[in-house]
Structure 1
Amino acid sequence: MFLHVQRLINEIVPDEPDPAAANALQEGLGGQFGEMRTMMQYLFQSFNFRGATAKPYRDLLHGIGTEEISHVELIATTIARLTDGSPAYTGAATKPVDEPGKGGKTPLASALSVGNIHHYLVGAQGALPVDAAGNPWSGSYVYNSGNLVLDLLYNLMLESTGRLQKCRIYEMTDNKTARSTLAYLIVRDQAHENAYAKALESLGIDWGRTLPIPKTDAERFPEVKTLLDQGLHLKQYTFSLDNLSEAGKIFRGSAPASVADGNLQTEQMPDGFPMDIAVERPEEFAPGLDADLLELVQRTAELELDDADHAADKVTTK
């Protein structure tokens, strides 16, 4: 059973819209090594887990998989921020939105030449379950062998490759919105490298100086260094409200990664950051709630609340 808290797991720093950066981030969302893949892979491995004596490993997979849901939310919201209002309509407010604006350009003109046209054509300036080339995400990416060591090895490779790609995307853009999300995910991928490496250590593997992968010296990225200084790469969240997770039996002791010393620790969940809802985009005809429909929705909601109150009163008087 999952609960949702309406807070983002990391703050998204505001900056100008950048549809090209949004398209690059699609690889980190819906690519073969993106957040949708890690979310589905780890959760399916935990759902299909066998062997009560190995419960700490199941709990570790479940905690990381649950965190990956929040990563999907974070990166999808970032993509929406990078496409939202890009291009903005610069015509007169009294004219129809389909009339060319300042300079003779129509509101969605740049969708034909910048970024992914489907962000505007299909997604109404929002994220899509695709990679940077527009290929749909596929469930065939998910690896779940049923063999614990194989799954952990594959997961470590997945985190390392995802971190490599995010470091590359970071180098592609100077947009603060994109970099704030990328830096956070780079550091959390390192934390997950630590988690899977530590699990494999407990099964007999000696990493030596192999980790982290890639050896990017990512701390030279200023946003990444800030998070490393906070020890974010040494934490793993359980997302366990009943505190029954045993992941802490594995994620503890010294970190396997050779970059930055420190001890591993588990926490229930991060505090998160406030969420907001993006403004309407009339040039996308979305979301399309006119005044009459909005009034109808409000009246319906009030009637449903009244019915719920009456039902509660009947229960109380019995």
Structure 2
Amino acid sequence: MYLHTDQLINEIVVDEPDPAAANALQEGLSGQFGEMRTMMQYLFQAMNFRGDPSSKPYRDLLQGVGTEEISHVELIGTTIARLLDGSPRYNGKADDPIDEPGKGGATPLKIALDTGNIHHYLVGAQGALPVDSVGNPWSGSYVYNSGNLPLDLLYNLMLESTGRLQKCRIYEMTDNKAARSTVAYLIVRDQAHENAYAKALESLGVDWGKLLPIPKTNAEQFPEVKRLVDLGLQSVQYTFDAGNTSQAAKLYRGASPSNDGTELTTEVMPEGHPAGIAPERREEFSPGLDPELLALIQATAEVELRDADETGS
């Protein structure tokens, strides 16, 4: 059972629309090593987990990381939507918000023909899609769940390392502040998850030596990443366990396997940041609500609220 808080796990810095950056971020969302894959892989591993009571810390660790990945899907998907929102930069004529086809004027969605992913406009109404950066749909075949704990943990560490590598590349593809704020956060959290799976594998006898983190990057060269690393975000793991019964802290503790001098700690969840709702996009007929219908819905809601208050009193 999950509870949703109407907040984003990290702030998305406001910047100009950038459909090309949005398309690059699609790889981080729905590519083979993206957030949708990590979310589904860890949650399936947690749901299918088998073992005696002593193995509960491993199941709790998978559950906690998998639950955090839900918020990462929300964060990167919302970032894509904000990078796309308003990107046509066309609001129509003063007397005709959407030009009539064939009248010789500018067309509202012309940008869709030569910038980014045409499906962002044609199918998604300037929103994120469950596809990678070249339009391939996300596939459940990406999910790895062998049932063997050491194998699954090794695969998960590889997944986090590859995802972090790709996000470092995405960061260097764009200088858009909105895109970079999200990518920087995910780079740091991917390292936290590398640490989580590395610690779990250490408890099973693995000696990492100097291998981690993967890839080895100078995080300080990315200002947004340095700020988060200075806060120690790479060394904390969230349990998202409202009942406070998670045993993940039995694994996620001690010196960081990334050899950065930090100690690993666990928390229930981060504070979060306001989410908000994107504005209406007339050129996409989104959401396409009829003013008269809206007025009727509002009037009906007011009557129902009034009746509920009278009944309650």
**Normalising by the residue count of structure 2, what TM-score does the alignment of the two structures yield?**
0.95
Letter aligned with residue 46 of structure 2: S
Q: Which consecutive unaligned segments of at least 5 residues does structure 2 have?
A: none
Which residue matches 1:92?
A: 93
1:142, distance to aligned residue in structure 2 (A): 0.6
Which residue matches 2:14?
A: 14
Which residue matches 1:254?
A: 255
Letter aligned with residue 229 of structure 1: D
Q: Are 2:278 and 1:275 aligned?
A: no
CA contact (8 A) 2:19 2:87 kept: yes
**Percent identity (aligned):** 75
Q: Are 2:68 and 1:67 aligned?
A: yes
Q: Distance in 2 between matches of 1:225 and 1:255?
A: 17
**For each residue in 1:42-82, what CA deviation from the matched residue of structure 2 results, as whole angstroms up to 9, or x when unmatched?**
01111111112200010000000000000000000000000
Which residue matches 1:231?
A: 232
**RMSD across aligned positions (CA):** 1.6
**For each residue in 1:138-183, what CA deviation from the matched residue of structure 2 results, as whole angstroms up to 9, or x when unmatched?**
1111111111100000000000000000001111000000000000
Stretches (4+) displaced over 3 A: 302-313
Letter aligned with residue 301 of structure 1: A
Which residue matches 1:179?
A: 180
**Normalising by the residue count of structure 1, what TM-score does the alignment of the two structures yield?**
0.94
CA contact (8 A) 1:98 1:283 kept: no
Letter aligned with residue 37 of structure 2: R
Q: Secondary structure at the match of 1:194?
A: helix
Q: Distance in 1 between matches of 2:42 and 2:300?
A: 40
1:217, distance to aligned residue in structure 2 (A): 1.5
CA contact (8 A) 2:256 2:262 kept: yes
Q: How does 1:138-177 map to 2 (within 5 A)?
A: 138-177=139-178
Q: Distance in 2 between matches of 1:296 and 1:56?
A: 52
Q: Secondary structure at the match of 2:266?
A: strand
Q: Are 2:290 and 1:290 aligned?
A: yes
Are the structure 2 counterparts of residues 284 and 263 from structure 1 closer, same or farther at C-alpha, using a change threshold of 3 Å? same
Q: Distance in 2 between matches of 1:216 and 1:115?
A: 28
Q: Distance in 2 between matches of 1:310 and 1:65?
A: 44
Q: Distance in 2 between matches of 1:312 and 1:158?
A: 53
Q: Are 2:206 and 1:215 aligned?
A: no
Count how many residue pairs are aligned between Structure 1 and Structure 2: 310
CA contact (8 A) 1:43 1:65 kept: yes
Q: Distance in 1 between matches of 2:183 and 2:151?
A: 28
Q: Secondary structure at the match of 2:280?
A: coil
Letter aligned with residue 298 of structure 2: Q
Q: Distance in 2 between matches of 1:251 and 1:295?
A: 53
Q: Distance in 2 between matches of 1:18 and 1:226?
A: 24
1:218, distance to aligned residue in structure 2 (A): 2.4
Q: Secondary structure at the match of 1:22?
A: helix
1:106, distance to aligned residue in structure 2 (A): 1.4
Q: Distance in 1 between matches of 2:16 and 2:159?
A: 31
CA contact (8 A) 2:99 2:106 kept: no
Are the structure 2 counterparts of residues 308 and 64 from structure 1 closer, same or farther at C-alpha, using a change threshold of 3 Å? farther
Q: Secondary structure at the match of 1:172?
A: coil
Q: Distance in 1 between matches of 2:155 and 2:217?
A: 21
Q: Secondary structure at the match of 2:172?
A: helix
Q: Distance in 2 between matches of 1:148 and 1:207?
A: 18
Are the structure 2 counterparts of residues 201 and 302 from structure 1 closer, same or farther at C-alpha, using a change threshold of 3 Å? same
Q: Distance in 1 between matches of 2:31 and 2:123?
A: 18
Letter aligned with residue 3 of structure 1: L
Letter aligned with residue 253 of structure 1: G
